[in-house]
């Protein structure tokens, strides 16, 4: 499986997982001038920006660790950019990470949600 295919499949697995957890998906692959966020969703009274990290099992390091400071800044800027155009502010918002680990055939081995994974630092 190519890297891009892995990513697309991972995002689909993440969407299904989040929907099952009560997330209402608002946007996918939202692009700002500063970068892209994979999923925007509503969860209870939170507006949630979700970064999906997909990897095949033999790669090393946790998906959370694979987020560079530059990627972090882009995610925060994109979350801020999205909110520039909202008519009503969310009571609260956060950035979550969904880590999807799959085998060589593309079957999910592990799906893990970290709420509020990326903050101001």
Partner 1 sequence: MRQPEGIRTGRVIIKPSLAEENSLLAQGYRLVAGIDEAGRGALAGPVVAAAVIMPHRLAAPWADEIRDSKLLSPARREYLFQHITKVAISVGTGMVPAGIIDSHNIVKATLLAMKQAVSRLRRPPDYLLIDHLRLPDVSLPQKGITNGDRLCFSIACASIIAKVARDRFMVKLDRVYPGYGLAKHKGYGTREHLLYLQQKGPCPIHRRSFRPVREVA
Nearer to partner 1, 86 or 109 (CB): 86
Buried b (16+ CB within 10 A) or exposed e, 47-75: bbbbbbbbbbeeeeeebeeebeeeebebb
The secondary structure element, H or E, covering residue 28 is strand 24-32
3-state secondary structure of 63: coil
> Cβ 28 to partner 1, closest distance in Å?
22
> Cβ 86 to partner 1, closest distance in Å?
7
Residues that bind partner 1 (CB under 8 A): 33-34, 73, 76-77, 80-81, 83-89, 92-94, 116, 119-121
Nearer to partner 1, 105 or 119 (CB): 119
> Cβ 36 to partner 1, closest distance in Å?
15
């Amino acid at each position: 499986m190519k890297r891009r295919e892995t990513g697309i499949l991972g995002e689909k697995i993440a969407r299904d997982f989040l929907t099952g957890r009560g997330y209402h998906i608002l946007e996918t692959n939202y692009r700002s001038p500063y970068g892209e966020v994979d999923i925007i969703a509503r969860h209870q009274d939170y507006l949630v920006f979700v970064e999906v990290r997909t990897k095949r099992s033999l790669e090393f390091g946790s998906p959370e660790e694979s987020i560079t400071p530059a990627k972090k800044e882009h995610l925060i800027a994109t979350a801020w950019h999205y909110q520039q155009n909202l008519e009503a502010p969310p009571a609260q918002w956060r950035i979550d990470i969904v880590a999807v680990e799959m085998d060589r055939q593309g079957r999910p081995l592990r799906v893990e949600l970290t709420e509020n994974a990326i903050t101001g630092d």
